[in-house]
Structure 1
Amino acid sequence: MLKSEIRKHASTDRLAIGEDEYSQLNKGLLDQFTMLDFEGINTIHLFLPIAEKREPNTFLIIEWLAENHPDIKIIVPKADFNTALMTHHEYLGINDLQKNLYNILEPQKGNLHSGEVDMVLIPLLSFDKQGYRVGYGKGFYDRFLQNLNAQKIGLSLSPAIEKIDDVNTHDIRLDLCITPAATITF
């Protein structure tokens, strides 16, 4: 299936998820996330969810990290839609976040992070059994991940599809993908 078709189907399917199921799926994601090995992990980059698009609730992960690994630095992105690049900022809490024009929560006062990143939690609409993902099509994460030596982990509310037919050379493969039922290694 082509990315454009996958985007359409995945977006529709995600919006059809009821509140109780959404809550259960996010609990499953968190349960899977807590089983990862955090040894040597000092900095984690993660996306902030767009609630209207039913993205995985990464605030649950942030809360768990704060409780169980308070020494791990959390950084979150700020998107520049003119350049299709992201900057990365220290997460200071929910009160530092504000929605941009695209309804994406972004940090306002968090310090710019230019150091190492050990783990990246990546948003996606769908992923295939080879470890490739379909995002929203702007390429923000593919550009960010291009020369980054970090663990690349997708978060998906749905299981893998068989194959994305139009993967190209700019697409960055995931190392892992966490679903509510399993963590898949590629």
Structure 2
Amino acid sequence: MLKNNFREKSKKLLKEHIKFKFKRDFQVFKECLKIIKKNKAKKILLFIPLKYEPNLFKFRRLLSKNCELFVPFMQDKSLKIVKFRLPLKKKKYEVFEPNDSFFKVKKIDLAIIPVIAVDKNLKRIGHGKGFYDRFFYDLNYKPLTIFVQSVNMFNNKNITDFYDIQGDFYINPYKKYYRKEIINDNNNCSFYNLNRTWIRIFSC
């Protein structure tokens, strides 16, 4: 119940956010670009935004200079990856997609994913349809994952389910979070220390 209540609260805030035009898309994109460069990611999964999501797509020309861009394509109750190409068509849930493609992408390096909210474990609350959850569950590898949003809807409680996907970063124009993973290798810890404004999320 907490998850659904927080989802509805977040949706309401996001819709108000459009009205007052507080979005700062470039600020979100700039932080994503730092992570892409630091990790030398070349194959990027990017989303085509809804009205209240950060529009990183307008910076795609900058990304495409050094990266291949892919977008999610709804297929049954899950997603598949298709190469970005025009034209885009509006599909169900007001989502824009390119035409279907039979080209198979073996592996992506990094995924940038919109969220409705994020909980203390850096797990994603989406629209409740489960498309991204099923997609990531079926992958046999885990790409670096960045959650993005136009407002800060971080909940400092565990309100997600076991099947909700977990991100490595959560970026919005107001705060930035990353997950510190504990690695069982001589008690060494690995984490991203991009700058002092990042807030670490601990997870075992």
TM-score by length of 1: 0.84
Deviation of the 1:164 alpha carbon: 4.0
CA distance in 2 between partners of 1:61 and 1:131 (Å): 25
Aligned-residue Cα RMSD (Å) equals: 2.0
Conserved 8 A contact 2:48-2:95 = yes
CA distance in 2 between partners of 1:130 and 1:170 (Å): 13
CA distance in 1 between partners of 2:46 and 2:61 (Å): 13
Letter in 2 for 1:112: F
Alignment of 1:168-179 (within 5 A): 168-179=161-172
CA distance in 1 between partners of 2:32 and 2:84 (Å): 19
Letter in 2 for 1:154: F
Identity within the alignment, %: 24
**1:141 partnered with 2:132:** yes
1:105 to 60, 82, 96: 96
Q: Which moved more, 1:156-165 or 1:116-125?
A: 156-165
Q: Which has the higher contact order (CA 8 A, sep 6+)?
A: 1
1:74 to 57, 69, 74: 69
Corresponding residue of 2:45: 45
Conserved 8 A contact 1:28-1:181 = no
Deviation of the 1:60 alpha carbon: 2.9
Conserved 8 A contact 2:73-2:100 = no
Give 5+ residue unaligned stretches, structure 1.
none
Q: 1:41 to 1:34 in 2, by over 3 A?
A: closer
Q: 1:48 to 1:163 in 2, by over 3 A?
A: same
